[in-house]
Amino acid sequence: METIKTHRTFGGELRYVRHDSSACRVPMEFTIFLPEAALRGEKRPVLYFLSGLTCTAENFTVKAGAYRYAAEHGLVIVAPDTSPRGDGVANDERYFVGQGAGFYVNATEAPWSAHFRMEDYVVRELPSLVEAEFPVTSARGITGHSMGGHGALVLALRHPGTYRSVSAFSPIASASNCPWGRAALGAYLGDDVEAHRAYDAAVLVEKAEERLPILVDQGTADEFLADQLKPELLREACARAGHPLELRMREGYDHSYFFVSTFIGEHVAHHAQALVS
């Protein structure tokens, strides 16, 4: 593990880290914010933030304005990349498949299966590394934006007991029912619709083993709302299953980080309530 650079911010420290990933079999980068208490050696809980299509950790790190709130609540925030990257890694000319578009699955199809194992990376490898190398507890929350909102919901639902809290901004709510998701899941998992449904938040919520309350914020002026995000499918599935969901439609907000930054404080507080004992 190598620290690429460090910035003091909000009384804590932001670090850019690179490490050799065993799950993705390439070097991976993430950012980690350590609040003041963690810098003093006090173990603090961790909130994972998963980013959306075309992003690296950088978009969230510089645009979301999350660290003020993390500092207030004493939360560590870890933001991984959205896929493996590099010359030896498969790619696609479409922005919603390949590098920058891992969709947080373990790919089973060639050529993707060689490196695209973002589920293993986010759920297992990254927390193990973070919990071994930084002053953190094993209390974990997960959130994300767009494809990363899909990732947060799907990984929390597929791995009960792993996260104590979950939320999402403008998530792809039903990946097997939208063009982005069908293209990406088709590439990574093949044509079997059941394999796609295993990574679909609106499907998973109906058979969830635990009823972790879900918080979702969604802008009504989001350009991807009707065709790609479809929060109504999550709302209907949660209603059918009796799964606790707070879906807040935010009038006039779009898909950008100007939306995320407006509500990130409420999400950090939601996670802090579950994670900070």
Contacting residue, 8, 207, 242, 277, with its own copies by CB under 8 A: 8
Least CB distance to its own copies at residue 2 (A): 19
Contact 271, 255 (CB under 8 A): no
Least CB distance to its own copies at residue 60 (A): 12
Site for its own copies, residues 162 to 221, rule: CB under 8 A: 219, 221
The pair of structure tokens assigned to 168 is 């999402």
Contact 37, 100 (CB under 8 A): no
Residue 233-252 contact track with its own copies, rule CB under 8 A, x = bound: -------------------x
Residue 54 is a binding residue for its own copies (CB under 8 A) = no
Q: Which residues of 74-90 are buried (b: 16+ CB within 10 A; e: fewer)?
A: bbbbbbbbbbbbeeebb
Nearer of residues 21 and 51 to its own copies, judged by Cβ: 51
Contacting residue, 15, 19, 25, 63, with its own copies by CB under 8 A: 63
Please identify every residue annotated as catalytic: 146, 222, 255
The pair of structure tokens assigned to 180 is 């982005």
Cα–Cα distance for residue pair 249/246, rounded to 1 Å:
10
Residue 261 is a binding residue for its own copies (CB under 8 A) = yes
Stretch of residues binding its own copies (CB under 8 A), selected from 49-57, 148-156, 229-237, 255-263: 255-263
Residue 215-234 contact track with its own copies, rule CB under 8 A, x = bound: ----x-x-------------
Least CB distance to its own copies at residue 192 (A): 40
How many CB atoms are closer than 10 A to CB 192? 12
The pair of structure tokens assigned to 277 is 């004992």
The pair of structure tokens assigned to 25 is 């079999």
Residue 152 is a binding residue for its own copies (CB under 8 A) = no
Q: What are phi and psi of 224, to 5 degrees?
A: -105, 5
Amino acid making up residue 65: G
- List 115's β-bridge partners, or say none: none
Contacting residue, 1, 3, 4, 68, with its own copies by CB under 8 A: 68
Nearer of residues 8 and 207 to its own copies, judged by Cβ: 8
Task: Pick the closest to residue 81 from 106, 107, 53 (CA basis).
Answer: 53
Least CB distance to its own copies at residue 196 (A): 33
Sign of the Cα torsion 193, 191, 96, 76 reads: positive
Output the CA–CA distances (angstroms, integers) from residue 127 to 57, 152, 170, 189, in the order listed: 16, 14, 24, 25
Stretch of residues binding its own copies (CB under 8 A), selected from 73-81, 91-99, 112-120, 260-268: 260-268
Nearer of residues 95 and 258 to its own copies, judged by Cβ: 258
Contact 144, 51 (CB under 8 A): yes
Binding footprint of its own copies on the chain (CB under 8 A): 7-11, 14, 62-63, 65, 67-68, 219, 221, 252-254, 256-259, 261-262, 265
